[in-house]
Structure 1
Amino acid sequence: MGHHHEHNHSVKNIRTAFFLNFGFTIIEIIGGLLTNSMAILSDALHDLGDSLSLGISWYLQKKSDRKGEDNNFTFGYKRFSLLGALINSIILIVGSLFILTQAVPRLLNPQPIEAGGMLILAILGIAVNGMAVLRLQRGKSMNEKVVTWHLLEDVLGWVAVLVVSIVLLFKDIPILDPILSIMITVYVLYNVIRNLKKTLRIFLEAVPDDIDFKEVKTKIASLSGIRSTHHTHLWSLDGEQNALSTHIVVENSLSRTEVISIKQQIQEFVEELNLQHLTIQVDYEDETCCMDDQAEK
């Protein structure tokens, strides 16, 4: 019951943060157009990406109670979050490039900015994102922790907009707006592209960055009774939970008890790899492997 209550609390926290963020994003887009501020519109794009992330996090959090796998998705639904990350990344990259095409020309031809409206939106942005952070900060789920850090970045971005708007109230330096816009957009692009690379690596079933694959194969092959290994594959399901499959060739003289002992040793060794799935196929020396491949060195 305690776990179920905590799960419902996590869903409510993310749902609240989603509606706060999405509602303010609409206000932000309208305000950016009315104040003629590219910095506001740049942050609106960032907040739109956050809203998409929050919406997907909310959806996935609700789905986390369902059965892990079924006849359609035998590995479960872990990669649905990656699909969301991929969609969000593409939207943010396209949007960021559009913002840059609008902001860069303003460096050569700065346009007047409604500093008062910009100031009001900045204060509102800090308040709304701050409320969302406070709401999620009480949560314990990984979803809530990741989203909290994302929203903290938004608060810092709005602090920058606030500072620029105060300067513009006292000094007419309209070029500050496109400069801030470009800085925000470049920062967003940098983080999006970095995360996109990680997402694509997972989609392409690359070995997780924090695991030495050669070491894994060497340790398995060095176990007493194992002649060789082949078809060893290690990949990540969602960036957190990993899967490993391997074929081990054992001596013909090994008993059932000894084979079980070898499998247990492998299981103990790979415990630290955050494995959700482990598959070990045992082949004897005089047995032809069904995959018919050369043993790994």
Structure 2
Amino acid sequence: MSNLHTHNHQHSHKQLKGRNLFISILLNILITVAQVIGGLVSGSLALLSDALHNFTDVISLMVSYIATVLSKKSASLHKTFGYKRAEILAAFVNAATLIIVAILLIKEATIRFQHPHEIKSGLVIWLSLLGIIVNGLSVLLLKKDSERNMNMRSAYLHLLTDMLASVAVLIGGLLMKFYEIYWIDSVLTLIIALYLVWVGFDLLKDSFHVLMLFAPENIPIQDIVKEVQELEQIKNVHHVHVWQLNEDETHFEAHVDFHENITLSQFDEVLNEIEELLFHKFKINHVNIQPEFGKCGPKDVIVQD
């Protein structure tokens, strides 16, 4: 198996800002405590829902932080890949919690909409402003890493939706204060919940695909097979598997049937050509090829093991 390219690029892509993540955890603990107290005092469901979402953020950020630390651990005889999938698992868990929280908020918003009551809007306004500031700072801290890592993106989405939720709560607080439209509290809670479902489902789907070893959607397997088969010495490419270990490592393995019974040194030359082709054109950085000559068996591109 070749991992020549991975070690040259992986470290530069995985310098995740654990310090920024830790700061975000502390900030979200602060805002969660403040919003729970404020929600109970003011009677605002939107504020309590925002606090609940912030609490899930604290948990998700902790999961992300632990996963980031674990992902840097070295491989061993019993853990040959180390903990490289910890971040994908964290992203899956975080996405699932987003959807679960959203369902609970929809239920509570429906009940509260049928029985609206007066809310202390002044407290709601000030705490929502605090939420916007704290979550906005956390979003800025994690934005860069979220662009290249699914685990960090899950934490970033939690924080981004929280900031947007705080904006919605602020709007609701102003409407309640100046126009006494108290049912807006439930409507905003419902909007927040639906947005959580929307962003959570995409992340849940993406992380599920990686965990299930599905081929990445941007990898055209038929095109890869066609291009590899165009190499002079190669007769057929079959029994192909393509999967992601994590977001930095895409693996390709296949059986390659040769026209002639070539030597090991000749195979190394061909293997190098395949590696260069797959890395530079398809961004595949781990290649495992099983050479064959005159071997009987299925020659389909995909063979069920």
TM value normalised by structure 2: 0.83
The whole-number CA distance in structure 1 between the counterparts of 2:265 and 2:16 is 47
The whole-number CA distance in structure 1 between the counterparts of 2:126 and 2:62 is 26
What is the aligned partner in structure 2 of residue 106 from structure 1? 112
1:127 lines up with 2:136 in the alignment: no
The whole-number CA distance in structure 2 between the counterparts of 1:85 and 1:139 is 14
Tell me by how many angstroms 1:228 deviates.
Answer: 1.3
Tell me by how many angstroms 1:35 deviates.
Answer: 2.2
What is the aligned partner in structure 1 of residue 193 from structure 2? 185
**1:233-263 per-position Cα deviation (integer Å, ceiling 9, x unaligned):** 0011124421111110112343444322221
Contact map agreement 1:221 1:227 (CA 8 A) in 2: yes
What is the aligned partner in structure 2 of residue 156 from structure 1? 164
The whole-number CA distance in structure 2 between the counterparts of 1:57 and 1:49 is 12
Tell me by how many angstroms 1:149 deviates.
Answer: 6.1
- 3-state DSSP class of the match of 2:39? helix
- Aligned pair in 2 of structure 1 residues 80, 171: CA closer, same or farther (>3 Å)? same
Counterpart among 70, 86, 91 of residue 63 in structure 1: 70
The whole-number CA distance in structure 2 between the counterparts of 1:120 and 1:259 is 69
Counterpart among 249, 263, 279 of residue 257 in structure 2: 249
1:270 lines up with 2:274 in the alignment: no
1:173 lines up with 2:168 in the alignment: no
- 3-state DSSP class of the match of 1:66? coil
Contact map agreement 2:38 2:123 (CA 8 A) in 1: yes
Tell me by how many angstroms 1:18 deviates.
Answer: 1.0
1:12 lines up with 2:14 in the alignment: no
Counterpart among 206, 219, 222 of residue 214 in structure 2: 206
Contact map agreement 1:246 1:279 (CA 8 A) in 2: yes
- Aligned pair in 2 of structure 1 residues 86, 133: CA closer, same or farther (>3 Å)? closer
**1:252-280 per-position Cα deviation (integer Å, ceiling 9, x unaligned):** 34344432222111101110444343211
1:227 lines up with 2:231 in the alignment: no
Tell me by how many angstroms 1:118 deviates.
Answer: 0.7
- Aligned Cα RMSD in Å? 2.8
What code does the residue aligned with 2:62 have?
G
1:49 lines up with 2:49 in the alignment: no
Counterpart among 31, 34, 45 of residue 38 in structure 1: 45
The whole-number CA distance in structure 2 between the counterparts of 1:33 and 1:214 is 58
What is the aligned partner in structure 2 of residue 217 from structure 1? 225
1:261 lines up with 2:269 in the alignment: yes
- Which has the higher mean CA deviation after the structures are superposed, 266-275 or 25-34? 25-34
- Which has the higher mean CA deviation after the structures are superposed, 93-102 or 37-46? 37-46
TM value normalised by structure 1: 0.85
1:139-150 to structure 2, matched below 5 A, reads 142=148, 146=153, 147=155, 150=158
What code does the residue aligned with 1:53 have?
S
The whole-number CA distance in structure 2 between the counterparts of 1:139 and 1:199 is 17
Gaps of 5+ in 2: 1-10
- Which has the higher mean CA deviation after the structures are superposed, 199-208 or 105-114? 105-114
Counterpart among 74, 77, 86 of residue 80 in structure 2: 74
Contact map agreement 2:53 2:101 (CA 8 A) in 1: no
What is the aligned partner in structure 2 of residue 23 from structure 1? 30
